[in-house]
Amino acid sequence: MKRHLANSYLVLVFIILYAPILFLIVYSFSQGDTMTNYHGFTWRHYQTLFSDARMLAIVANTLLVALLSSLIATFIGTLGALSINRTTKRVTRESLLTLNNVLMVSPDVIIGASFLIFFTMLKIPLGFGSVLMSHIAFEIPIVVLMVLPRLREMSTSMLDAAQDLGATTRQLLSRVIIPFISPGIFAGFFMALTYSLDDFAVTFFVTGNGFSTLSVEIYSRARQGINLEINALSGVMFLFSLLLVGGYYWIQQASQKRKHRKREVVS
Amino acid sequence: MTNRKTWLYFIPYGLWLALFVIAPVALIIYQSFFDLGHHFTVANYGTYFQSATYLKMTLNSVWYAFLITLFTVLISYPTAYFLHQLKHRQFWLLLVILPTWINILLKAYAFIGIFSQAGLANQFLTFIGIGPQQILFTNASFIFVATYIQIPFMILPIFNALDDLNPAFINASKDLGASAWQTFHRVIFPLTLPGVKAGVQAVFIPSLSLFMLTRLIGGNKVITLGTAIEEHFLTTMNWGMGSTIGVVLIVAMIIVMTLTGDQKPKGGTPR
């Protein structure tokens, strides 16, 4: 009886969580022009979407910013995690971590506004460059947080062994440390990618006039009212995020399996 | 490792810390002391603390963020609790997280359709005999949509806290004769409180600054701190006043963080 109640509660929550998304996608196939009555199946809105040159350019921009910023943020963040991990003093380490988390907890609006002041003072033109730099900036802390736990798990004896066997700093990094922490690096990269694709507020502040990402474009179109092309877009994006989540899940499962296998070998 | 060379690795990260963490915070504080004519002044703070409009707006914003957080906790705790008892819980948890991967603006846009005059919500209200209501651009719709968006961010930390909970405690409590309610009230809830606190942190602060929702769903009736900042920076171009409100928001954030931070004693007592 109790189990029943719990399950129906969960079903209700899941319905609420997914209803708006399904609603969007269902209407992306409707022949009408509003989200009120379903008028029969059509691919028309998808055709409009894929022939909308402006929208396609914006999608390309968004993906470019996301991929480029995540790559750079993963690189800098991993280096940052390595340096934080090497600190010996507790105070230094704690203050570095606190500084690292400032951008994680700051509201988007504050990040956006302060970056806008920053770029304006340095006379950096608003556009692709400023958006890219902002995205790198707010992605770095999550990469650090994803990589650090893996670094902590690494045993020092392994490093000592490598050094005793004559490995240079470079070899130590590329042959021992990086392979060991690579699951953390991947997770960090994925999180950075999501952060970038999901961001609206920061981009909105630093984007200027010429450059636009998907979120900003959706915002300006949504303010003008219903346009089923956006529904088609959300259908495509939902599929895309399903693939991303699937990929992420698969990587995690694979790394967990490897861990289990190793444990079995050890024991 | 040779110390001589490894500090080089710190340079990019250190530059990031200086340029994109320390400098922007310093700049927003600095900017808050300038008026429209670029004169150094504390007038912005004077205006803020003497103006009934600004103070009322701040109170309103905090009140709405509180309501959103409250509803989110009320919905998320049972969800996380029941979810944790399921067999393939990691998979179900993934399904909870999946909606957060959908762009927040698309979700807001979906609600514009659902809450519109002839939308799904009004069709339902007509069907059960209440008749169509104005739903979009009301305070209630703003709270509803904000709660909807924040739920996964609350479920996740609570779920993790439940996962960390040692089942031996629950068994011990039952063995000692506690009822199901007592076990929950005295053992499970206190031990998962850190998860709730983490969730409150993740929900309350963003709720103070959700400016796109106040525009798209709230119809500009609710003005949050975030809306005010956005308006000062991008519409009226009064960066000084915008920064002042920004500083207020930062202070609010610090207060929330200290209130919900874990007060574990700094001696390493086992938790």
Residue A196 domain boundaries: 53-225
CATH of the domain at A218: 1.10.3720.10
Residues 6+ apart with CB under 8 A from B240: B31, B32, B33, B34, B35, B36, B44
Q: What is the pLDDT of residues B37-54, one digit of tens each?
A: 888 888 889 889 988 889
Q: Is residue A262 part of a domain?
A: no
Which pLDDT value is given to residue A169? 80
Start-end of H helices in A106-226? 108-121, 128-153, 156-164, 169-171, 178-198, 201-206, 214-223
- Cβ atoms of B229 and B91 closer than 8 Å: no
Which pLDDT value is given to residue A76? 95
* Percent of residues, chain A, with pLDDT higher than 70: 96
Q: CA A161 from chain center: how many Å?
A: 36
Residue B264 has pLDDT above 50, yes or no: no
Q: What is the pLDDT of residues A58-112, one digit of tens each?
A: 999 999 999 999 999 999 999 999 999 888 888 999 999 989 988 888 889 999 9
**Coil vs helix vs strand at B222:** coil
Indicate which of A110, A145, A196, A253 best probes the interface with B, i.e. most B CBs within 10 Å of its own CB: A110
CA angle B119, B123, B127 (to 5 degrees): 175
Residue A225 has pLDDT above 90, yes or no: no
Considering only CB atoms, which chain B residues are within 8 Å of A172? 1
Residue B114 has pLDDT above 70, yes or no: yes
Structure-block tokens of residue B40: 């150094």
**Number of domains into which chain A is organized:** 1
Shortest distance between the Cα of A156 and any Cα of chain B, in A, equals 12
Q: What is the pLDDT of residues B200-237, one digit of tens each?
A: 988 998 898 888 888 888 887 788 899 999 999 998 88
Residue B265 has pLDDT above 70, yes or no: no
What is the mean predicted confidence (pLDDT) over A213-242?
A: 87
CB atoms within 10 A of CB B95: 15
What is the mean predicted confidence (pLDDT) over A199-215?
A: 90
Distance CA A147, CA B97 (A): 21
Which residue in chain B is spatially nearest to A159 when comparing CA positions?
B1
pLDDT category at B268 given cuts 50, 70, 90 is very low
Q: Is residue A218 part of a domain?
A: yes
Distance CA A113, CA A101 (A): 18
Number of residues that make up chain A: 267
Distance CA A190, CA A157 (A): 30
Distance CA A26, CA A18 (A): 12
**Coil vs helix vs strand at A30:** strand
List Cα–Cα distances, A240 to A14, A243, A246, in angstroms: 20, 5, 10
Which residue in chain A is spatially nearest to B91 when comparing CA positions?
A249
A214 touches B at CB < 8 Å = yes
Which pLDDT value is given to residue A263? 59
Q: Is residue A250 part of a domain?
A: no
Distance CA B248, CA A183 (A): 39
Q: What is the pLDDT of residues B121-145, one digit of tens each?
A: 888 888 888 878 888 888 889 999 9
Q: What is the pLDDT of residues B2-46, one digit of tens each?
A: 455 667 788 999 999 999 999 999 999 999 998 888 888 888 898
Beta bridge partners of B95: none
- What DSSP designation does B136 have? T
**Coil vs helix vs strand at B253:** helix
- Cβ atoms of A130 and A207 closer than 8 Å: yes
Average pLDDT, chain A: 87
Residue A19 has pLDDT above 80, yes or no: yes
Inter-chain residue contact A117 with B27, CB threshold 8 Å: yes
What is the mean predicted confidence (pLDDT) over A147-151?
A: 90
Q: Is residue A27 part of a domain?
A: no
Indicate which of B105, B115, B183 best probes the interface with A, i.e. most A CBs within 10 Å of its own CB: B105
Which pLDDT value is given to residue A80? 93
Q: Which residue type does A62 have?
A: T
Per-domain residue ranges for chain B?
Answer: 61-222
Inter-chain residue contact A218 with B119, CB threshold 8 Å: no
- What DSSP designation does B18 have? I
Domain at B61-222: CATH code: 1.10.3720.10
* Percent of residues, chain B, with pLDDT higher than 90: 41
Q: Is residue A128 part of a domain?
A: yes
Q: Which of A200-204, B82-86, B262-266 bottoms out in mean pLDDT, i.e. has the lowest?
A: B262-266
H or E element, residue A165: none
Shortest distance between the Cα of B154 and any Cα of chain A, in A, equals 13
Q: What is the pTM of this model?
A: 0.86
Distance CA A67, CA A80 (A): 20
Shortest distance between the Cα of A130 and any Cα of chain B, in A, equals 12
Which residue in chain A is spatially nearest to B90 when comparing CA positions?
A249
Residues 6+ apart with CB under 8 A from A141: A77, A100, A101, A102, A103, A104
Inter-chain residue contact B105 with A218, CB threshold 8 Å: yes
Distance CA B207, CA A255 (A): 36
Which pLDDT value is given to residue A262? 61
Structure-block tokens of residue B74: 């009320």
Q: What is the pLDDT of residues A27-55, one digit of tens each?
A: 888 887 777 777 788 888 898 888 889 98
Distance CA B207, CA B104 (A): 13
B75 touches A at CB < 8 Å = yes
Distance CA B214, CA B220 (A): 5
Residues 6+ apart with CB under 8 A from A104: A141, A142, A145
